[in-house]
Structure 1
Amino acid sequence: MAEITTRQTGAAVIWYDAALVPGFAPDLFDPAWLKQTGRLTGTSTGRNTAWFLRYEGREMVLRHYWRGGMVGRIVKDLYLREPVDRSRAMREFTLLDWMHGQGLPVPRPVAARFSPFGPWYRADLLMERIPDTRPLADCLAEGPLSDRDWMRIGAVIARFHKAGVHHSDLNCRNILLDGAGGIWLIDFDKCERRPQGGWAQENIRRLERSLIKEKGKVPGLHWTDRDWQALLVGYRVISAPPDIKYDA
């Protein structure tokens, strides 16, 4: 578990892992400062921008929390103020830290910031960057995965479910594959630990819906019913009692 240090900078409250970054600089949350000092190494311009940076020899990702849906068109990044430890970034930091300590394949959290603004607050999260990774959707746009790969994806999801981790937005862009064959889950905003229940199957159905949607947008997407069945086999092998076996 992280050695969490709390720091106050103006009205903002920062949590950071002192073991990872003993010389933590609050300006790490400022993309303009990162660019000016040569620490910014790139950006990701998906639905919301993320900034890639290098600091004290570590590759990291900075993410600002943005509102989605209809509300996000009016109030882009303000959330109703709440206790610091219940705020968006701090909750995700805490969950990531716990999952990392359990050996689950997630980014390691570095720091989180709570910035109050009257009755509102803004939030930011800084994580270690997982090297040489691509979203599952991008991989499928280029070529098919093997049955073994799909089974491994299913097995990784099952590990999270057995640990009681509910991923509120499990989709084909929040699953990453790395160059060494590793599989990672990302984006745990609004996620939580839960007692075992029907939510796990709904998680799986949500992923299936995202793959169907992606195939509708990318007609040549390399995803078939056989692939999905292989994923389910891998999921069941991990989630089922040890005396039950499934054939591929």
Structure 2
Amino acid sequence: MPNIQEKTLGSQIILFDPKHFAEPTPKLFSGEHWAAENKIIGQATGRGTTYFFKHQDQEYVLRHYLRGGLIGKILDDQYMFTGIQNTRSWQEFNLLQHMINLGLPCPTPIAAMVTKKGLHYSADIILAKIEQAKDVCNILLTQEIPQETWRDIGKTIAQFHQHNIYHHDLNIHNIMIDKTNKVWLIDFDKCGVKQGTDWQPNNISRLHRSLEKEKRLHNIYWQDSDWQALLAGYDS
């Protein structure tokens, strides 16, 4: 069990694992800081920019929380502050740690920061980077995925569901496969523990829609027999 600590620096509150950052400061959550240190090893753009950086021979992921939809055009990174435990970064950090304790294949949380601004806050999180892994969508753009791996994807999703872990955005961008063919789920913002099982079929249907969408837009290497293999793994 990691010795997770909390530190307050003015308007910033930082949750962190001291094994990775013994004396965390707000600059650790800045892509510009890591770029100035020549530590950036990659980045991904979506709603915002996710930075991948290297520090003391370990690789990390840095993400700033941004709103989507219409409200995101007005309050792009501002959220109402109703207590530190209710903030997006604290919730994701604690959920990830809970899943790590359960032995589920998800990113390891390293540090999270909340910056209070009056009644609002902004948030950031640092995770351990999954070594030599690609997301399923990226793989399917260039090659097929073996049916045995599709079954493993189904089994992995079932593991999370068996522990009542609800993934808010289960799509093929958030499923990773590493060099050993181990399957991982990532991006647990707005996710959580959800009781009952009624929600699980809809969660699986969301993933199917994601595959159909990418097949329509990018003609990925995916077919119905792959989906049947995934379902077989999920139900096994």
- Return the TM-score normalized by structure 2: 0.96
Aligned residue identity for 2:225: R
Contact (CA 8 Å) 2:47, 2:66: kept in 1 or not?
no
SS at match of 2:141: helix
Contact (CA 8 Å) 2:14, 2:24: kept in 1 or not?
no
Unmatched segments (≥5 aa) in structure 2: none
What is the match of residue 37 of structure 1? Answer: 37
What is the match of residue 89 of structure 1? Answer: 89
CA distance in 1, matches of 2:193, 2:84: 19
- Residue 33 of structure 1, CA deviation: 1.6
The answer as to 2:187 corresponding to 1:191 is: no
Residues 25-49 of structure 1, C-alpha deviation per residue, up to 9 Å, x if partnerless? 4321122221112222222123321
Residues 159-179 of structure 1, C-alpha deviation per residue, up to 9 Å, x if partnerless? 000011000110010001111
CA distance in 2, matches of 1:142, 1:47: 24
- Residue 21 of structure 1, CA deviation: 2.9
CA distance in 1, matches of 2:48, 2:200: 27
SS at match of 1:69: coil
Contact (CA 8 Å) 1:79, 1:122: kept in 2 or not?
yes
CA distance in 1, matches of 2:152, 2:13: 39
CA distance in 1, matches of 2:99, 2:170: 16
The answer as to 2:220 corresponding to 1:224 is: no
CA distance in 1, matches of 2:2, 2:82: 23
CA distance in 1, matches of 2:39, 2:144: 36
Contact (CA 8 Å) 1:40, 1:54: kept in 2 or not?
yes
CA root-mean-square deviation: 1.2
What is the match of residue 52 of structure 2? Answer: 52
What is the match of residue 207 of structure 1? Answer: 207
Aligned residue identity for 2:28: L
Aligned residue identity for 2:6: T
SS at match of 2:95: helix
- Residue 23 of structure 1, CA deviation: 4.1
Contact (CA 8 Å) 2:51, 2:63: kept in 1 or not?
yes
Contact (CA 8 Å) 1:170, 1:207: kept in 2 or not?
yes
Alignment: residue pair count: 236
CA distance in 2, matches of 1:39, 1:28: 11
Residues 23-80 of structure 1, C-alpha deviation per residue, up to 9 Å, x if partnerless? 4343211222211122222221233210111123221000000000111112111111
What is the match of residue 140 of structure 1? Answer: 140
Runs of 4+ in 1 over 3 A off after TM superposition: 23-26
Moved more, 1-10 or 68-77: 1-10
What is the match of residue 64 of structure 1? Answer: 64
